[in-house]
Structure 1
Amino acid sequence: MAAILLFLLLSAYYSAGTAQQSPLNISLGSSLTPTSNSSWLSPSRLYAFGFYQQGNGYAIGIFLAGIPQRTVVWTANRDNPIVPMNATLVLSIDGRLVLQQTQGQDIDIANPPDSISTASMLDSGNFVLYNSARNVIWQSFDHPTNALLPGQTLKAGQKLFSSASETDSSRGIFGLEMQADGNLVQYPVGTPDAAFPYYWTSRTEGQGPNATLNLEDDGHLYLLVTNGTVVNLTVGGHPKNRTIYLARIDVHGIFGLYSHSLDRGNWSTIWEPTNKCDPKGLCGVNSFCILMDKVADCRCLPGFDFVNQGNWTTGCERNFTVESCKSKAGNVTYDMRSWDNMQWENNPYEVLEATRQEDCKKACFEDCNCEAALFRDRECRKQKLPLRFGKSTTDSTITFVKVGILVSYTQGVPSNLPKINKEVRVDVLVIGITLTTFGVLMFVLTGVYAHRNRLRAYKNISEDVNVEYIENVAPRAFTFAELEQATNDFREELGRGAFGAVYKGILPNSQKVVAVKKLEKMLEEGETEFQNEILAIGKTHHRNLVRLLGYCIHGPNRLLVYEYMSNGSLADIIFTPEKKLNWDYRIEIASQIARGILYLHEECEIPIIHCDIKLQNLLMDEKRCTKISDFGLAKLLKHDQTKTYTGIRGTKGYVAPEWHRKLPVTVKVDVYSFGIVLLEIICCRKNIDWSLTEDQAVLEEWVYDCFEAKELHKLVNDEEVDMSKLERVIKIAIWCIQDEPAIRPSMKKVLLMLEGTVDIPVPPCPTSFLSSK
């Protein structure tokens, strides 16, 4: 009897285990929609096939549903993945897996050779279609996109392609191919097959033709080549239970192996064979890649600016107008700038052997066809633009780039006017010699005549100067009368702050609309430092910074002239319910602000601490691009400085704790203010609001309470937001508002976290008053 009972128990246990592992059949007539029944889950509910959010629409694919960070491992219809909200995915009665749209033609998601009878989403992450005989007629494992899962194989001739971005699953610019000759290679997409500019290879050429790339469930990634030989890329033996493994080529062109513990909840890197700067094309043309704390960063060549600040791959373009280098009458003269230890694609039109560095520089400068030259080992390679595949290396190559230098201006008048000045001096000399024969009276009259001629020449030049051209060089010095005229005697006030009022104006020559800030209080710094700060800030040029166009110093009057921002401040938008922006756009705004602050901290010629980051100082232009304004409180750092002492600056609620402790101030005060701003953008409310209950009045306290209690939905008033994304951004903000400046991340790290490229650990309690609760 006992034996029978034991047999029945074992049988029941085995049956339960078998049922648990068996796939769930998806029958004909089943359907999915983006907003309700949106996916078919695997038996363990770890993987899902169906709709996932992508930008302003949805895409269809396979993703990890059993972890907080939704990770897409396969995408359908990759060349055009976005589908509208009203689309329906149907396993039709006639045996097709089809996307039905209210407008437009139906799209087949899979094209099996036989009619579909059933489908299954397996626990391996493989989505499988069967015919009536229960034979597999199509599976996602045979059509990889950007990733491999354990048990999946990349066969000879198959490729993986990176995604376009972290939020766009369409095909990106990097590929990984298992070649027929047995070589596994990484390369930039769109290059000729005959001459792949590989940036990584397994060096197993000649081991084909049936080589495969394989991943096991213990993290063993290897090539299986001729005669069954195994070429290990990683060593196996990693935990199998409650651990997921994924091999993927990421948006930056790095192919690697990653693991995720279902208990710890974070992705970890097991293997990445390439330097973060190795992927060719990551930085686009005329730009180069350097490593900053093991993170890739793209920089433009001297004399170039990013085409699109938010998209490295678009590369850089000249920040000056190209003129003939033989012209002597143009607005641009040329100079050679150099950069050491750079590597570029080798594509010269002329090679000079046995030459010296200075000779190479001179040869390019004097050659109108030469736009850049690469010098190494006494060899000079003349090149035309664009330069491609640039990265910082340890080799001894010196890069020379021909850049334009704009004509310099002083108070609206070109400073290099030798012809006019020379003509005036000759006139004065000739008239002076003549006057010696006519006496004192004629000398005085001729002197007056010469003076009037000089004033007329000055006036003519001033009227002809293109004011916008001056703005691109340095802030222009305006006269008080000019700004009185431009603002119609300071009639239309746009706003008022602690240091003065802002007026709308129109520059008479160019009809350009500007904002004129009339300072009513002077900072403690003296006149010289005020002017130095204006000149330094005027050199900043970034799409997320309001441009300082000019200034005026007239007796006690101090005025600043800025570009006009037609859509006002973020405070007016974020704090007005009827103007509320959607979640994705609010996060994009936060990223734009972070890029602007990062530029001030790390990319300016002289690092700048803004000191007053708040929503009122964040403005929107006519294209709804967010820009940082009001550098009136900015503090400049010398090249060798990382901190400075100064009196307290900024606005209550946004001021970092170290201001009150009279500690040296660093760029981390801006990080703190950004954290408060980020919380306001997330929650669409002010950081201090005493009209609310006591536990909600101070935003940072309330946010941390909700974070600890896992009640983040309260922060967005139950707005439809992906909770994992909300948690991620809240963690970023809490890290930014840490009481200890050294714990706060740099703005570079903040931007990477916002873009989703780095993991975010759980932050500690941010401030002392919270920890004392």
Structure 2
Amino acid sequence: MASIFFSVTSIFLSFSILASCETIYTGFIQPTYSSTYNQFVDANGVFLRSNSQNFSVAFFNPDGQSNYYLSVLHIATQTAIWSANRDIPISKTIGILLSPQGIAVTDQTSGGATTVKWSTPPLNSSVALMQLTDTGNLVLLDQYNRSIWQSFDNPTDTIVIGQQIPVGSSLVSSLSDTNYSSGDFQFSVASYDGLLKWKGSTYWKMSMERNAYVNSNAPISFMALNGTGLYLHGENGSVVVIKIILSPADFRIAKLEFGGQFTISSFPSKATAIEFTAPHDNCRLPYICGSVGLCTTTTSAGQYVCSCPSGFHNINQGCFPSDASLSLPSACNSNSSINATGGVQSNSSYTSLGIGVSYFQITFSEPTIEFVNLSYCKSLCSNCSCSGFFYDNSSNSCFLLENQLGSFMSTTSSNSDPMGYIKVMVKPSVVATGGNNQSSSKSSSGFPLVALVLLPSTGFLLLVTVLVLSLLWWRRRKLASHSKLDRPSSCSSFELDDIFSIPGLPVRFDYQVLEAATNYFENQIGSGGFGSVYKGVLPDKSVVAVKKIIHVGIQGRKEFFAEIAVIGNIHHINLVKLKGYCAQRQEQLLVYEYMNRGSLDRTLFSNRPVLEWQERFEIALGTARGLAYLHSGCEHKIIHCDVKPENILLHDHSQVKLSDFGLSKLLSPEQSSHFTTMRGTRGYLAPEWLTSSSISDKTDVYSYGMVLLELIRGRKNSSLQIQTTSNENGSNGGSASASSMMGPVYFPLFALEMHEQGSYFELADPRLEGRVTNADVEKLVRVALCCVHEEPMLRPSMVNVVAMLEGGIPLGVPRLESLNFLRFYGRRFTEASMMEGSNAVNAIRPYPQGYTGVTTNSNTNSSDSYPSLSYISSQEVSGPR
């Protein structure tokens, strides 16, 4: 009877324990709690769900076999958004212990003993509750309901809406889809950008992403994901520094994939939809084709093929030297590759990768050293930590590739791009045999044996002759070597030491080369405040534009080179590329890429075929993108100071590029008279130039607004124009003209008046003959008026201008009270034109002489109201030219 009772009791207790352990809690669990995976076989290891039933905490088994992790899962997609023991996968014996001291992940030994494999760090107070929030955050709370630990503060490879990744923290990839151990890829949140890295080397920047908007230069505080996109915030969340705008979504996951791609997915149905991937080109992933593999992009959709570079062949899905006597170098801790000198590899050689092969690291890093020749660069790679190098022959720059090599990528590069070299080692067996034979051969046939058979006197004379000739030959080689190094700076009287320490300088051209390329500076194609521009053809048949900078204002050689280095390091699709420079004979020359359609003013204001509206919009957008990059995308903010149609260049296929950026610092005080007393050109200068207001990037915004108005009308802002009035709308969204008149029109004022009336169509260039809609014109007019606000703080940033043009943010609303000054410019222009004709334009003053500023009244149409700022000779700033 006792045995029956014992059996029944055991069955009852076992059933009770099983029922208790299979309970799935909702919202929270209190200590003390423990469980193992074996107790949850039928419940897929889930023991806690959020109140919304969207997230769970479970013993997750991604490979279906052996790897178990304590994870927070998004239930609908079975995505692990966080794992506790990611680097310590455990078998089915995995368990959890929740105690007042925190969470512990446990495992059982073969003898049945329980060991702790992972635990939360020591906490400041005792745990009263473990809660899973509706955002997927696993939180430990104390008795006062204060958070003392949370999974969101310890990210793995994923971030979800509501989570913040602070500056200095990183997402770390997994080794595979089923092995959550930490991989080699990181998404690091730096104080200035979001960076994708492989083994510490950057291969993508968030600010360089084509969908990214850079709003501020403030230091970054954290990264966050929300329903509208990915954001880098500054000043504790009060400022958006960089953002990637996506379509609205209720749930979104951003993940660093195990292969190095960073993806953002939304959840519109039963599966996630990938809406963003970086980098877009798979061949820019550092290890896409394995070590030393060569990736070639085959389609615009990102498809690719892997192969091996020239001189290498595939063995077991890896690339190795085709020459069987060579091998790739071993790691530094391998004695076979290191001699007694401390890591210098004496049996190494280098295999060239050929033309058209690039490497991710040289795109995002500065050269290891500059102004050295190929031999010196090669000598720097003799250490065992160096796996190869790239050498740029045009700039004498050396990029060392340290430690493990990733994949290379095929490019459309030319001979002028850096050439890659991979270090290879002569196998020990070859060194032991072939090396000794060569040595003995030399010793048996060298000069000492010949000397032994010569007469003593003849041998002595011959030896002296050889020594003298050797000395002369050595001195000649040394002078030639110095001449080769100094030849590029023969275009300058400066010593090499003056520029050796300045990184980033572009190619130095010899003056004679540029003289010949431009046919002795006879083929002038333009001129401006910074100097004259000449078309040239270099010896490699590339066409360039050579600008002669006159009256350089920078004092000192190093300052000049430093500014040129800054300009040369700026690369953007909408900025003209500086290919090189020369400084000789008291002249400074800059060599730019050639834009075959010339400047915008030649096309816009001439009798050439009319620019269609879509091309005008592309010009406006491209110029805005270039300025936005100068203001927000560069390491150091650059204010252009002379935005005007003459500095907007056009090329085939609607390419738009801004020129003359960064040159304002090179201008001397005397030369500034070409622009008025300020930096810039009359008609485009912002009002703050003549006030005590500080000059900022908003001065460029004002100039851009004035250019945008000229782009809309197809005429200079101050000129004799046909002014039309209308009473009814046309069928195309525009308006039918009722009357017209020829007279002096200050177009910014005309645009303001038409904006107040809501009539935009007639502002468009009449040469378009109606091939534009009222809405299209309204968009550019509103953006332009917002840009020319009198108060700089009211003007949008160029990043926001780009966003408005692209439709990423709503159009701004022009503030009429900050546009009243246009009425005075317009009135003075009309009065001066009537009295003195169009030649009086450059001598008018929009305000009465001696005017010091009167507060505007509420009647915006009153001709007696005055703007709020104090002006002197304001026509030199924003008025007609």
TM-score bracket for this pair, using the shorter chain length: 0.3 to 0.5
- Bigger-Rg structure (1/2): 2
Give the alignment's TM-score, normalised by structure 1.
0.44
